[in-house]
Amino acid sequence: MDKSKVSDEEWVKLAAVLKKIPGIRMGCEATCRRFVQAVLWILRAGAQWRLLPDRFGHWNSVFKRFASWSRFGVWDKMLAHVSVKADLENVCIDSTVIRAHACAAGAAASNAAAEALGRSRGGFGCKIHALTDALGLPVRFILTRGQAADITQAIPLMTDIGSTGALLADKGYDANALLDWLGQRDIRAVIPPKANRQVQRSCDWYQYKARHVIECMFGKLKYFRRIATRYEKKASHFMEMLAFAAVLLWLR
């Protein structure tokens, strides 16, 4: 199967979701499919919009439609729709740093902080904070500057996630505030204790092995070159590309 194209089976599922999103007019279904196919080509190739092949239409028209859908959060709504089937027996959270290309800087009428761009030991970039279900399928993302600590986004990721039995995370999330928050909601913390804890906690190391699913999810996302390196000036555009990639993981 050519993964640079939307298969007939995938398009049937995507079209069904798009028809349920208010405020979005698909128009001619064939034209809409060609547009989605064009965005997938950009997502896979990581190329400049100007290099979009002519078979997809004029690159600027495609980009403007993508920007319009991003303003309405269409791609994120698609992810919310497909992820309602998430297996919440347990969830995993983690983050990954994405290096930003030089062209990601300089968004008009904005600044680096507003577009979730900053500098860490890894250089100029941003950080993706993610939550997956028990099977490693993406449910939710938060984008921050590259230097942001993982623990700062733990509770926002978990808020309103629904009923789950356990949270699996690495020792970067070993903080009393998070542990207390989980305890109040009867969510078991499967988080290794930091070495500098005065009173060491226990950890279910057998269940902790299941945390590898979120690492695998990040690996799959980075096969999309538009995710592996950030080229988008606008944080909203990068987040919508991320949501589209996540939807494809659900469909496949």
Closest among 211, 214, 175, 166 to 193, alpha carbons compared = 175
Mean pLDDT of the chain: 93
Per domain, the residue ranges of the chain are 8-82, 86-233
3-state class of 3 per DSSP?
coil
CA-to-CA distance for 159 and 100, rounded, in angstroms? 28
Measured in residues, the chain has a length of: 252
Question: CATH number for the 86-233 domain, one of 3.40.50, 1.10.1760, 2.60.120, 3.30.420?
Answer: 3.30.420
CA-to-CA distance for 19 and 40, rounded, in angstroms? 19
DSSP string, 107-143: -TT--TTTTT-EEETTEEEEEEEEEE-TTS-EEEEEE
The values of phi and psi at residue 19, to 5°, are -65, -20
3-state class of 237 per DSSP?
helix
Long-range contacts of 30-38 (CB under 8 A, 24+ apart): 33/6, 35/62, 35/65, 35/66, 36/6, 36/11, 37/5, 37/6, 38/62
Closest among 13, 159, 22 to 77, alpha carbons compared = 22
CA-to-CA distance for 100 and 10, rounded, in angstroms? 30
pTM of the model: 0.94
| DSSP 8-state symbol, 148 | -
| DSSP 8-state symbol, 211 | G
Q: What is the pLDDT along the chain (252 residues), one digit of tens a residue?
A: 566 788 899 999 999 988 888 777 777 899 999 999 999 999 999 999 999 999 999 999 999 999 999 999 999 999 999 999 999 999 999 999 999 999 999 998 999 999 999 998 878 999 999 999 999 999 999 999 999 999 999 999 999 998 999 999 999 999 999 999 999 999 999 999 999 888 889 999 999 999 999 999 999 999 999 999 999 999 999 999 999 999 999 998
Degrees to nearest 5, angle at CA 222 with 189 and 252:
85
